[in-house]
Amino acid sequence: MNESIVRANGLTKFYGRQRGVVDLDIEVGAGEVFGYLGPNGAGKTTTIRLLLDYLRPTRGSASLFGLDSHRASLAIRRRVGYLPGELRLYDSLSGRELVGYFARLRGGVPRGRTEALAERLACDLGREIRTLS
């Protein structure tokens, strides 16, 4: 296998007596495409949150890009995008306002970058968020 990009060893998360993920071992190499599928409640979201250190494991370990997911969480998050399924946005903001807000949260984005991406994706950033798919 190529260099490991994602690795979990015995990754486990319990919420009190409820199981989140139990003894998960995965390894995804550079250049691999990996689908993480399962029914609701199977632990997919919990796994992602553990990998990104939004949750702390009950036991086990995880790494991304060869970096420990807890000790290097900020460095990892700079390289990974995560869009939760339950995300709620400010619907009355324009796409441009919301993108600008998120760009400032990340410390800024080079001038023109968001406009270039919006053009490439045929996304009208002048429209309100609620009208965008």
Give CA–CA dist 88/92, Å, rounded.
12
44 and 107 co-located in one domain: no
Give CA–CA dist 94/51, Å, rounded.
32
pLDDT of residue 72: 96
Give CA–CA dist 121/124, Å, rounded.
9
pLDDT of residue 2: 65
pLDDT of residue 15: 93
What is the residue-wise DSSP string for 7-66? EEEEEEEEETTEEEEEEEEEEEETT--------TTSSHHHHHHHHTTSS--SEEEEEETT
55 and 102 co-located in one domain: no
pLDDT (tens digit, 9 = 90+) per residue, 8-25?
A: 999 999 999 999 999 999
pLDDT of residue 90: 82
Of 48, 36, 39, 114, the C-alpha closest to 84 is 48
Give CA–CA dist 20/75, Å, rounded.
25
Q: What's the predicted TM-score (pTM) here? A: 0.71
Q: Report yes or no: 41 and 19 within 8 Å, Cβ to Cβ.
A: no
CATH number, domain with residue 72: 3.40.50.300
Residue 72 forms part of a structural domain: yes
Element (H, E) at 68: strand 67-68
pLDDT of residue 97: 92
Q: Which residues of the chain have pLDDT under 50?
A: none
pLDDT of residue 53: 95
Residue 60 forms part of a structural domain: yes
Residue 90 forms part of a structural domain: no
Structural domain boundaries, residue 62: 4-79
65 and 105 co-located in one domain: no
